[in-house]
Chain A
Amino acid sequence: MTEPLLAVTGLRKAFGGVAAVDDVSFSVAAGEIVALIGPNGAGKSTCFNLINGQLAPDAGSVRLGGTAIGGAAPRAIARLGVGRTFQVAATFASMTVRENVQLALLAHAGAQHQIGRRATTALAAEADALLEQVRMARFADQGCATLAYGDAKRVELALALANAPRLLLMDEPTAGMSPNSRNRMMQLAADLARQTRVAVLFTEHDMDVVFGHADRVIVLDRGRIIAEGPPAAIRNEPRVRAVYLGDDEA
């Protein structure tokens, strides 16, 4: 069997003596969509930050396609093909939607420090194609700061995709959206991932989104994995119901 695209082994990170992530191991294969769920403070975001380099692990390894990336800088990990969206959408507020994507494409091409051409005319067709993919083409000339919350999340997805990622990390991609948009957003991400065989790891509080779109679910509680499996199994796992779904009868 070949090595999975993302392999996390024995990952650990403590803040002031409290282990936010404790001996966590899991893997994600190319084209697979995996949900990371758990109550607030379970360690989901810390896990993400360890994988994309915003935090350095205290112990354990993170491997992407066989390369150890644990502790590398976010920009280095990004260049290896990890795209990321944030819990609070992070876009470039002073630029238009198209310019956001153009800058992302320039960075992907390693051209972010060029001074011989205009940024606004660079890779415009590619940028528009990406915006078409995330259904944001009609907002291309609008400023990013004035977008509705859900639209900003879509732009973020386009930014992450501009990097032609092998692994896509999405931190609560549908938070703050209406139930309808949630499903549309997640369906969009899932379709794109399956088409391009990108591995997706996402966190989410909405269980309909999780059970509707994930191939596999990993449940974290207090920094440890307490369950892992296909959605149907996780839904009925007593420990998960007890800890996470707050089901006292289980």
Chain B
Amino acid sequence: MTLASLLAQLLNGLAGASSLFLVAAGLTLIFGVSRVVNFAHGSLYMLGAYVAWTSVAWFGRGPVGFWGGVLLATLVVAAIGALVESLLLRRIYAAPELLQLAATFGVVLIVRDLTLATWGAEDLLGPRAAGFAGVVDLFGRATPTYELLLIVVGPLVLAGLWWLLVRTRFGVQIRAATENRALVGALGINEARLFTQVFALGAGLAGLAGALQLPREPANLGMDLAIIAEAFVVTVVGGLGSITGAFLAALLIGLVKALCVVVGTVEFGGFAIAFPKLTLVAEFVVMAIVLAVRPYGLLGQPAVIPATTPVAEFRALIRPPGRRSLAAALALAAVAALLPFTGDEYRLILATDILVLAVFAASLQFLMGGGGMASFGHAAYFGLGAYGAALAFKHGAPMAFALAAAPAAALVGAVIFGWFCVRLSGVYLAMLTLAFAQIVWSIAFQWDAVTGGSNGLVGIWPAPLLADKRDYFWFVLTLAGAALAAIAWLAQTPLGYALRGSRDSALRAEALGIDVRRTQWMAFAIAGTFAGLAGGLHVFSKGSLSPETLAIPRSVDALVMVLLGGLNAIAGPLLGAAAFTLLQDGLARATDYWRAVLGAAILLIVLLAPMGIGGALQRLFARGAR
């Protein structure tokens, strides 16, 4: 390593930090005013890149095409942001946090498919930036002038935002709304207009960042989730609501990543560790250290713990399941056991999928419904289970051991990640779980030698005894049935009540001597273990796995299933998994854009039926019983 290469990497890291800061700053601004964490912020960034590409395609690679495109992207995306705010978010400001997050996730899916429909699936290579195509000699190295420009953009935007917030009337209104939302209306500020304006500002920043990224990275459909995960890390490290914090965190992470690249591959006692591949892991380490010392980030403020849960949904009385539920479950299992005799193999595969996903969804429901903790990265545990089982199998373990490795691997992951997650709550926790999941995904994706990288692992089939699809179905039915029963049982035990009590009122739980964090940590471990079991069953039913198994869309799937089924309905996970699987199966056959339909379905649930199918059925039964 030379000093020159170190400096070159540092410059590269700082250039990357700028666009990351722009996205994180917008995210934080919007959160400050509206208290909504916009999961679709990465989608706005992606749109910025695509709009800029189109501008160049129309107006050429000159200054008009490129810089006009940057301006156009900023404005167009700001307008789209304003539209999303006034059409959708405005309707859900009063909704539970969880549903707000889910709704913006729905927007992610819709934007993804709209982008696919408009620009196609191919990566679109961007032009060099007009006027900044060359290089300058810096410390004996050719440094792209564009990198230098980007490095300046970050501080410039920070200064601009600072000026806006401190010196203008608009800025004063934003700060007033951030400090005390109730005050805004009382001061005669037009709240609705302010929210739309702030959302447009934040969206514009994301669009600008995306457009500026175009010369460095082709516009592609993976940009949205890649940047949002990083932006979450930056926002959590910097402190939610603090723009300066976001700037510092972006710098810090940019520098650490640059250092990883510089260090290169290092040998430790025969093991070669390729640091350049560990950039995402490095982010995790930075985040872990910061959060361990300052749980609310570098410049963040601790959230005030409310005396009782403000979430209306969590105030509804939850009755333990009665004998009728048990009888219904047993009857259903008996009917399901007859399914292989119909001889329809496709139906059998779908039924196996439903059972596996029901366990996955039930584990998330245990955490989210019972514990009030929204995990937006639950696929991490499913994936750890799947990879755990697959790797054990590949290294010669018999199926029984490999399958046991699945929950074990997920348990280890859940214990480690959960330790950090339970120190946060609400949206912080959701962002952190997503960031962790993204890290696990990147390890699976990048660690070719062990995980097979993007190709994944193949040839993981059940033992001869279970090789027949029918036998494997019965096997899954037994295990999944037991797992679902165990999760339902846990919710009825003192632990389940302590967990729900911690959700209802952390203040009261602590005053009674219940260790809220410890209880939530245990719930994390339990949920992770069952998700891992689902992952293990999944890999043996498919015979192969790839990083897709634990990518963010799978976490979204789990969320959709839980929301579809109902957060606290006992039959929710099964209903949700069945509805989801059948819907997906039908949609995927009917249209290429089934994810957009799924996104629209999420929006409909949030807007029209926040209790889910299970919740609606339960209410119906309760009415019938009366």
- Do residues A107 and B513 form an inter-chain contact, with CB atoms below 8 A? yes
Q: Interface size on A (CB < 8 Å)?
A: 45
Task: List B contacts of A74 (CB < 8 A).
Answer: 510-511
Known contacts A52-B511, A74-B510; is A91 also within 8 Å of B505 by CB?
yes
Stretch of A118-126, A209-217, A232-240, A241-249 on the interface side: A118-126
- Do residues A145 and B317 form an inter-chain contact, with CB atoms below 8 A? yes
Stretch of A92-100, A132-140, A175-183 on the interface side: A92-100
Residue A46 interfacial (CB < 8 Å): no
Known contacts A90-B507, A116-B493, A119-B497; is A145 also within 8 Å of B315 by CB?
yes
**A45 CB, nearest partner CB in chain B, Å:** 12
- Do residues A113 and B507 form an inter-chain contact, with CB atoms below 8 A? no
Interface range on chain B: under 10, 10 to 19, 20 to 34, or 35 or more?
35 or more
13 CB contacts below 8 A, A to B, read A75-B514, A86-B508, A90-B505, A92-B504, A93-B309, A93-B504, A94-B315, A95-B497, A95-B501, A103-B497, A114-B494, A115-B494, A119-B494
Residue B88 interfacial (CB < 8 Å): no
**B512 CB, nearest partner CB in chain A, Å:** 4
Partner of B508, one of A79, A91, A113, A122: A91
A76 to B507, CA, bound (A): 13
Task: List A contacts of B519 (CB < 8 A).
Answer: 112-113
Q: Which of A75, A78, A94, A96 has the most CB of B within 10 A?
A: A94
Q: How many A-B residue pairs have CB under 8 A?
A: 133
Task: List A contacts of B508 (CB < 8 A).
Answer: 86, 90-92, 159
A76 to B505, CA, bound (A): 17
Partner of A163, one of B314, B490, B495, B513: B513
Known contacts A94-B504, A113-B519, A163-B512; is A86 also within 8 Å of B496 by CB?
no
Per-position 1/0 for B260-284, Cβ under 8 A of A? 0000000000000000000000000
- Do residues A106 and B498 form an inter-chain contact, with CB atoms below 8 A? yes
Q: Which of B308, B317, B497, B519 has the most CB of A within 10 A?
A: B497
Residue B186 interfacial (CB < 8 Å): no
A102 to B320, CA, bound (A): 14
A141 to B138, CA, bound (A): 76
Task: List B contacts of A129 (CB < 8 A).
Answer: none
Residue B515 interfacial (CB < 8 Å): yes
Residue A154 interfacial (CB < 8 Å): no
- Do residues A92 and B505 form an inter-chain contact, with CB atoms below 8 A? yes
Q: Which of B492, B493, B511 has the most CB of A within 10 A?
A: B511
- Do residues B501 and A92 form an inter-chain contact, with CB atoms below 8 A? yes
- Do residues B492 and A119 form an inter-chain contact, with CB atoms below 8 A? yes
Residue B595 interfacial (CB < 8 Å): no
Known contacts A94-B315, A119-B492; is A78 also within 8 Å of B511 by CB?
yes
A114 to B515, CA, bound (A): 14
Task: List B contacts of A103 (CB < 8 A).
Answer: 494, 497-498, 501, 512, 514
Task: List B contacts of A75 (CB < 8 A).
Answer: 510-516
